[in-house]
Amino acid sequence: MTNTIVGKNLKALRKRKKLSQEEVAQALGMNRSTYSGYENDVALPNIENLIAFSAFHEISVDDLVKENLFSYSEEQWNQFENKWQKDAKGGNMRVLTAIVDENNEEVIELIPEKARAGYVSGYADAEFMQELPRFQLPFLSKDRKYRAFTIAGDSMPPLCSGDIVVGEFIQDWTKLKSGNVYIVITANDGIVFKRVYNHLEDSKSLLLVSTNPLYEPYHVKISDVLEVWKFAASISSEYPDVQLDNAGMNQHFRNLQKDIQQILQTVRNKGN
């Protein structure tokens, strides 16, 4: 049996990283013979393994099963490895379906709690968007596109579950300002409202941080991001009184210590 595209691509990607089969297998939590079988077409990886391979090599499953990576020249490799920058800057046009009123003016579509799950698959579907509630806010710029999302959970006080946040559509993700608050739409986590730190140059990812210290920060790969909306306004029925108990304060300090260690490690790595 001859090697499939997947097997050849796995081998090419591994060699590109200058890793052995044993090193890749250990990183993915499988034994070397199992991994070797995938490279040599003894067995075909299932969807879970394809997803694991794509995450490890930071490429899409689509590229893994369709691109002839094994035949790439050095120039093609450089273009392939840096194409995330074009995607992040909006070079591949993002489809944004918008609704207008009877005066042909754009309105703000509201994604209510019940529609959150459907938004990830229907955000580019005109029929889905047409069914959503809509409103206008006169103090927002008419030159920009806005959309409203209902918050779920308690990770972003002083806003709480059920409150509404209005976001301004961001086309170029490379210009996201670290520390600002954004609504991030991801393929895996859906709609998340977080303080964002731009780590695109370092790790092709965004660091998402909650204002509630009980929730730990986490990274999301830019390949998993579908849309980004910059926080523009909020609508809340009440202002919550947020107080942390001793356990909450202790967790807050532990998170701070962990962040400091990560920063120091990054500085040490760059120094080497």
Q: What is the CATH number of the domain that holds 70?
A: 1.10.260.40
Average pLDDT over residues 264-271: 63
In this structure, what are the phi and psi dihedrals at residue 86, rounded to the nearest 5 degrees? -65, -40
pLDDT at position 246, please? Answer: 62
pLDDT band, very low/low/confident/very high, at 1 (cuts 50, 70, 90):
very low
DSSP 8-state code for residue 69: G
57 and 133 part of one domain: no
Spatial distance between the Cα atoms of 218 and 100, rounded to a whole number of angstroms: 36
Q: Is 141 helix (H, G, I), strand (E, B) or coil?
A: coil
Spatial distance between the Cα atoms of 262 and 196, rounded to a whole number of angstroms: 16
171 neighbors 197 (Cβ within 8 angstroms): no
187 and 230 part of one domain: yes
28 neighbors 19 (Cβ within 8 angstroms): no
87 lies in a domain?
A: no
Q: Tell which of 81, 116, 131 closes a domain.
A: 81
pLDDT at position 2, please? Answer: 41
260 and 133 part of one domain: yes
- Percentage of the residues of the chain whose pLDDT score is greater than 90: 51
Query: Beta partners for 109?
Result: 134, 147
In terms of residue numbers, what domain contains 68? Answer: 5-81
103 lies in a domain?
A: no
CATH of the domain at 207: 2.10.109.10
114 and 215 part of one domain: yes
* Burial of 19 from C-beta contacts in 10 A (0-12 / 13-18 / 19+): middle
Spatial distance between the Cα atoms of 220 and 208, rounded to a whole number of angstroms: 7
205 lies in a domain?
A: yes
76 lies in a domain?
A: yes
Q: Across the chain, which distance is largest between two alpha carbons, in Å?
A: 66
120 and 69 part of one domain: no
| Number of independent structural domains in the chain | 2
pLDDT at position 92, please? Answer: 59
110 neighbors 150 (Cβ within 8 angstroms): yes
Dihedral, 32, 33, 38, 41 alpha carbons, nearest 10 = 150
136 and 203 part of one domain: yes
Which residue reads 């995607």 in tokens? Answer: 87
DSSP 8-state code for residue 162: T
Q: Does pLDDT of 39 surpass 70? A: yes
Stretch (H or E) spanning 79: helix 74-81
58 and 116 part of one domain: no
Q: Does pLDDT of 247 surpass 50? A: yes
20 lies in a domain?
A: yes
Average pLDDT over residues 187-205: 91
168 neighbors 230 (Cβ within 8 angstroms): yes
pLDDT band, very low/low/confident/very high, at 202 (cuts 50, 70, 90):
confident
Q: Does pLDDT of 243 surpass 60? A: no
182 neighbors 230 (Cβ within 8 angstroms): yes
Residue 117, amino acid: A
136 and 191 part of one domain: yes
14 and 143 part of one domain: no
CB atoms within 10 A of CB 261: 10
Give the model confidence (pLDDT) of 169-191 as tens digits: 999 999 999 999 999 999 888 99
38 and 112 part of one domain: no
- For residue 64, give the nearest of 79, 72, 53 by alpha carbon: 53
39 neighbors 13 (Cβ within 8 angstroms): no
Overall pTM > 0.75 = no
153 lies in a domain?
A: yes
Mean pLDDT of the chain: 85
Spatial distance between the Cα atoms of 192 and 70, rounded to a whole number of angstroms: 37
117 and 229 part of one domain: yes
Instruction: Return the minimum-mean-pLDDT range out of 119-128, 192-201, 209-218, 253-262.
Output: 253-262
pLDDT band, very low/low/confident/very high, at 207 (cuts 50, 70, 90):
very high
44 and 112 part of one domain: no
172 lies in a domain?
A: yes
212 lies in a domain?
A: yes
In this structure, what are the phi and psi dihedrals at residue 198, rounded to the nearest 5 degrees? -80, 110
pLDDT band, very low/low/confident/very high, at 211 (cuts 50, 70, 90):
very high
